[in-house]
Amino acid sequence: MRVVVTGGAGFIGSAVCRYLVNDVGAIVLNIDKLTYAANPNSLEPVINSPGYHFERADICDQDSIYASFAEFRPDAVIHLAAETHVDRSITGPDAFIQTNIVGTHALLKVALTYWLSNKGAIPNFRFLHVSTDEVYGSLGPTGLFRESTQYDPSSPYSASKASADHLVMAWHRTYGLPALISNCSNNYGPYQFPEKLIPLTILNALMSKRLPVYGDGQNVRDWLYVEDHARALYLILTQGRPGQKYNVGADNEKTNLGIVEAICDVMDECCPTNAPHNRLITFVTDRPGHDRRYAIDARKLKTELGWQAQEDFSSGVRKTVRWYLKNRAWWEPLWNNVYSGERLGIPQSGASSHELSR
């Protein structure tokens, strides 16, 4: 199987590339622009494999992407290239509109042209668009997001992903492109850029810096270990039905405060000289438009395709903490040169940019 993975040097994308090459035996072409959150070092386990290929390119460049498709001749596409950080979308939405909407449109045009030109040679071509549960908006204290849940995005990030979802489904219904959409809950695990909650908390705790918690810390998310997500995406790609959506979640609902406290508990075990780490927890001004609760109903994925998460949150967070403690060579260059824990996404009237570091 020959698979194009867009955004394959990112957090989820690199996990997908590693899984496809090492576990499935697929031949992968990773197309990535290499923005700030991409890290080629995340692909070290496959970098020398004959099944892994890389091309630095922007998905908005249709001519370049089509040339890559024509040369590589993929059987499938997993589209992960995206701007993903909500805080960054608040102060810099332009990049999210360009990559997530314009880029997806460009990629759909390329994929459709390629598919129509090769229908006979590639009868089972698939285009999987990887999206987020944030397109559904915010839940109350009860209920779950289902594939039929009405879209109600709150942030520039989630609005751009919702727009991309609509484009993908329109290309299926209008042109017949064999496309599918997955909507996943919050991912965590090794190789995640440190601006996200879990790696930021681990690294701040390691350095005895304050651990920021937005608002009252009671915002709820469903947490999915990234390698479980990679397995789900392969099942959706190969066994899912074109024109369908599949929600991916692990039934691990946790408050943000509960996440930080769980990491503190593991850090107390791994780094007891700095315990208790929960003394570092600091409540800070909430994020604008912060959705209160997300929760995924993944029954369709489980019943139709037989997927089950292999990691619960307790096992997954322990693996994640230990990975960061053992892999300073991966995250230290990022921390020293790209991002070192400063708060992002603060409107001009909001909290001080130094609020998290003082």
Q: Which of 75, 87, 133, 311 is catalytic?
A: 133
Q: Is 133 a catalytic residue?
A: yes
Distances, alpha carbon 292 to alpha carbons 33, 138, 140, 217, 254, in Å: 33, 6, 7, 10, 12
Instruction: Report the distance separating Cα 7 and Cα 273, nearest Å.
Output: 39
Q: Which of 66, 157, 246, 294 is catalytic?
A: 157
Q: Which of 134, 222, 261, 311 is catalytic?
A: 134
Angle between helices 197-206 and 328-337 (to 10 degrees): 90
Q: Is 297 a catalytic residue?
A: no
- Residues 6+ away with beta carbon under 8 Å from 335: 194, 203, 341
Longest Cα separation, the chain: 64
Q: Is 269 a catalytic residue?
A: no
Q: Please, what sign has the CA dihedral across residues 102, 104, 110, 112?
A: negative
Q: Minimal CA–CA distance to 15: which of 343, 311, 336?
A: 311
- Residues 6+ away with beta carbon under 8 Å from 144: 295, 296, 297
Q: Which helix or strand (DSSP H or E) is residue 32 part of?
A: strand 27-32
The catalytic residues are 133-134, 157
